[in-house]
Chains A and B, each alone.
Chain A
Amino acid sequence: MTASVETNGDFKENLGFRQKLGRFFNVLLLICTLVGLVVLTVLLVDVALEGGSWIRLQLFTNYHSRFPEKAGMKSGIVGSLILIGLTGLFSFPIGVGAAIYLEEYAPKNWLTNFINININNLSGVPSIVYGMLGLTVFGRMFGLFEPDSWLVKVFNIPVTTGMQGGWQFDLFGIPGLAIQLPFGRSLVAGAMTMTLLILPVVIIASREAIRAVPPSIREAAYGLGATRWQTVSTQVLPVAVPGILTGMILALSRAVGETAPLLIMGAFTYVPFLPESVWDQFTTMPIQIYNWITLPQEDYRIHLAAAGIIVLLAVLLSLNTIAVYLRNKFQVKW
Chain B
Amino acid sequence: MQEVKRVSVREIIAERKSKKKLFGLFKLSRGKSVWENVIAVGLFACSVFTILVTLGIIITLFSETINFFSRPEVNLWDFLTGTNWRPLSSNPSPENFGVRPLIRGTLMIAFISGAVALPIGLGSAIYLSEYASEEVRKVLKPALEVLAGIPTVVYGYFAISFITPLLQRVLEDGLGIDVSFFNALSASVVVGVMIIPMVASISEDAMRAVPSSLREGAYALGATKFEVATKVVVPAALSGIIAAFILAISRAIGETMAVMIAAGATPRMTLNPLESVQTMTSFIVQVSFGDAPSGSINGQAIYAVGATLFVITFLMNIISDIVLRRFREVYE
Contact = CB atoms under 8 A, between A and B. Distances in A.
Asked if chains A and B are in direct contact (CB within 8 A), the reply is yes
Q: Which among B121, B157, B196 has the greatest number of chain A C-beta atoms within 10 A?
A: B157
A135 B288 contact: yes
Contacts of A171: none
Nearest to A139: B294
Interface residues of B, number: 101
A89 interface: no
B217 interface: no
Contacts of A102: 47
Interface string B282-322: 00110011010010000000110010011001101110010
Given A47-B157, A117-B321, A260-B256, A136 B60 contact: yes
A106 interface: yes
A96 B47 CA distance: 9
Interface string B104-144: 00000000000000011111101110011000000010011
B293 to A, nearest CB: 11
B151 A22 contact: no
Contacts of A50: 161
Contacts of B281: 126, 128, 260
A175 interface: no
A178 interface: no
B36 interface: yes
Given A133-B56, A260-B256, A293-B261, A309 B149 contact: no
B14 to A, nearest CB: 11
A132 B61 contact: yes
Given A121-B321, A312-B151, A332 B2 contact: yes
Contacts of B222: 13
Given A30-B131, A234-B19, A235-B15, A97 B50 contact: no
B226 A18 contact: yes
A39 interface: yes
Given A137-B60, A228-B40, A260-B257, A128 B284 contact: yes
Interface string A144-161: 000000000000000000
B51 A230 contact: no
Given A33-B128, A46-B158, A126-B254, 5 more contacts: A21-B226, A25-B230, A101-B43, A257-B153, A333-B1
Interface of B: 1-2, 4-5, 7, 9, 12-13, 15-16, 19, 23, 32, 35-36, 39-40, 42-51, 53-54, 56-57, 60-61, 64, 119-124, 126-128, 131-132, 140, 143-144, 146-147, 149-158, 160-162, 193, 196-197, 200, 222, 224-227, 230, 247, 250-251, 253-257, 260-261, 281, 284-285, 288-289, 291, 294, 302-303, 306, 309-310, 313-314, 316-318, 321
16 contacts: A13-B222, A35-B120, A43-B150, A98-B46, A98-B47, A105-B40, A120-B317, A124-B316, A129-B254, A229-B40, A230-B16, A256-B151, A266-B291, A309-B157, A316-B149, A333-B4
